[in-house]
Amino acid sequence: LLAQAHALAPNDVDVQKRLDAVVGEQLDTARKALAAGQSAQASVELARLQPYLGVEPEFIALRGEADAMLKKQQRENSIVDLLQRGNQQLRTGHLVEPGGDNAYETLGELDKFAGGDKRVAEFGDALARALLSDARKLDNSGQAPRALERAGLALRVVPGMADAQTLKTQIEQRLGARAAKLAQTLSSAKQAIAEQRFVPPASDDAYTSLQAALALDPANTDARQLLGELPKRIVEAATARAQTNAAVAATIVDFARRIFVQDAALAALSQKLQAQLAAEKNAALAQAARDRIGKILAVSAPAPEQLRAGAKDLDDLLVADSTNKDTLALRTRLIDTLGAELQAAPGVAEFDALAALLKEQARPLSSDHAYAALVANLPALRAKVAQAETARAEAQRGELVLNAYPWAKVDSVFDANHEPVPLPADTTTPLVLTLPAGTYVVTFRHPNAGKPVRVIATVEARKRVAANAAFPTISAKEYFSRAGW
C-alpha cells in the first residue's frame, strides 16, 4: 500500500519516511542474522523479500553484505573440511595414493583458493616431511625409483627443502639419467593430477607426462595405472567443479573427450553439463527479466510503454515457469501498479489508454485474482477520473468577451495549439466564450470591410477578459441602423 501511495505521490516526504521505516522493519530479521554471523539464514530471508524490496537501496546494500559474508564462510568451511581430510590422509599414510584420496591432491585443492593461508602452509610442510620420510623408507627397502619420486614431490611441496634435495641427488647419482628422468616425469604427472591439469591444452598436463613416462618405460606400472584412472579422475574433478562453475567443468570434459573419445562416463557427464549450463542460462535470463520488471515497478510513475515491456517480460517468465514465487509476486505488484496508475490518471484519455493496456495484458495477468477485481472496478475508477478532470478543467476556465466597433462577426478562434474553438451559430459581437486558460487568436470580420482584424487574447482562470476590434471605415449610421434606430 505504501508503494502505491509513493507511486501516487512520489514527492511526499511523509510517505517516503513511512516507506523507509517499513523497509527497515522488514530487513530487521536479515540484519540480525548477519550480526550473529548467520549468513545462510540472512540470505534465505533476503531471497524471500527480493520480489518486494529488490530495488530498495537498503536491501541492495544488505544483500551485498550477506553475499560477502556467505562467501567468506563458505571459503572458511571449505578450508576446514579439506584440512581435516588432508590430515586424516596423512595419518593413514595416503600421501600420493590412492588416486582421489591422498594428501598431495588435497593440498592441490587447497592451493587453488587458499594458497596464502597459514594453515595451508603448515599442512604443506607436514606433507613434505611425510613424503621425505616415505622416500627414505622406500630407498632403504630397495625401491629407489619410487623413493626418487617421493623426494621430488617433497621438493614440489616445499621448494628448497634441503634434506629432500640431498636425498634426491644421491638417488639420481645411483640410478642414472634414464631412471631419474622417469621418476621426474611421474612426479610431474602426479603434480598435474593434483592441480587438475589433466589434458592439453593445460600446461604441463598429466596426460602428456604419462605418455612421456611410458615412452621411457612402456611397462611402468605406475604410469599405466595413472593413465587408466585418468578419465575417472577427470569425471570426479569436473563433477565437483560443476557445483560452482559448470562452464569450466564443461571445458575440462570437452578437452578430455578429444583424447578419451570412447569413454562413456565422460560422454554422459558432457550431456549432463550441457543441460546444467542451459538451465543456468535460463535461470540467469529469468532473473534478469525479474530485475527489469522490478526496476519498472520501482519508478514512481512508469510510462505505459514501460509497463507494457514489464508485462511482456512477465508473460515470458510465466510461460517458462508458471509456479515461480518471485514471478508470481511480481505479477501481483504489476497489477497493483496498474491500479495505482489508473487512479492517478490525469484525464480520461490517459485512463482509457491504461485500461486498454490492462485488458491487452490479460494473458499474463488474468490468473491473479487481483486482475479480475481491478477490471471489474474500471467503470467506477473512470467515473472518478472523469469527474476530477471536469472539476480541474472548470477551475481553469475563464470568460473571453469579444467586442468590435461598430460591430462584426467572430470569424474564428484558435488556441495556442492552432486548434479551432467551436463557435455558436450566431457569432455577432458582442460574444462571450467560456474557455480554458491560455492564449487565443481571434479573427473578426465585417462584411463591408476589406480585411479581417486579428487580436491575441489571454484568458485567465476564473477571470473575465475582453478582446476588442475596430473597423473605422464602417460608419456609425450603419451601426445604429443595424441596431434598429
Residues 315 and 284 in one domain: no
In a domain, 373, yes or no: yes
- Please give the residue range of the domain that contains residue 219: 200-294
Residue 349 identity: A
Alpha carbons 19 and 58: distance in angstroms, whole number: 12
In a domain, 187, yes or no: no
- Sheet of 438-445: strands edge to edge? 409-414, 438-445, 453-459
In a domain, 185, yes or no: no
In a domain, 170, yes or no: no
Q: Domain boundary at 338, 365, 391, which?
A: 391
* Beta-strand relationship, 453-459 and 438-445: antiparallel
Residues 218 and 290 in one domain: yes
Helix residue ranges, H only, 299-360: 304-320, 325-343, 348-360
Residues 384 and 469 in one domain: no
Residues 280 and 356 in one domain: no
Closest CA to 286 of 56, 50, 68: 50
Q: Are 110 and 83 in contact (CB under 8 A)?
A: yes
Query: How far apart, in Å, are the Cα atoms of 208 and each of 142, 201, 469?
Result: 28, 10, 103
Q: Return the residue matching grid coordinates 527480493.
A: 50
In a domain, 124, yes or no: no
If one counts the domains in the chain, the total is 4
Q: Long-range contacts made by residues 204-208, C-beta under 8 angstroms, separation at least 24? A: 206/230, 207/259
Q: Are 287 and 321 in contact (CB under 8 A)?
A: no
Alpha carbons 315 and 327: distance in angstroms, whole number: 10
Alpha carbons 254 and 250: distance in angstroms, whole number: 6
- pLDDT tens for the chain, 485 residues long, are 445 544 555 555 665 676 567 777 888 888 888 888 888 888 888 888 877 777 678 888 888 888 888 888 888 999 999 999 999 999 999 999 887 789 999 999 899 888 889 999 999 999 999 999 999 999 999 999 889 989 999 999 999 999 999 999 999 999 888 888 998 899 899 889 988 899 999 989 999 999 999 999 999 999 999 999 999 999 999 998 898 899 999 999 999 999 999 999 999 999 999 999 999 999 999 999 999 999 999 887 899 999 999 999 999 999 999 999 999 999 999 999 999 999 999 999 999 999 999 999 999 999 999 999 999 999 999 999 999 998 888 888 999 999 999 999 999 999 999 999 999 999 999 999 999 999 999 999 999 898 999 999 999 999 999 999 999 765 555 555 555 55
Q: Domain boundary at 245, 265, 294, which?
A: 294
Domain with residue 448: its CATH number is: 2.60.40.10
Alpha carbons 108 and 98: distance in angstroms, whole number: 15
Residues 287 and 218 in one domain: yes
Residues 373 and 425 in one domain: no
In a domain, 308, yes or no: yes
Residue 193, classed as helix, strand or coil, is helix
Residues 7 and 66 in one domain: yes
pTM more than 0.85: no
Q: Domain boundary at 37, 72, 107, which?
A: 72
Closest CA to 310 of 372, 361, 351: 361
Q: Write the DSSP assignment of 424-474 as a string of letters.
A: -S--BSSEEEEEESEEEEEEEE-TT-SS-EEEEEEE-TT-EEEEEEE-TTS
- The per-residue pLDDT for 3 is 53
Residues 348 and 386 in one domain: yes
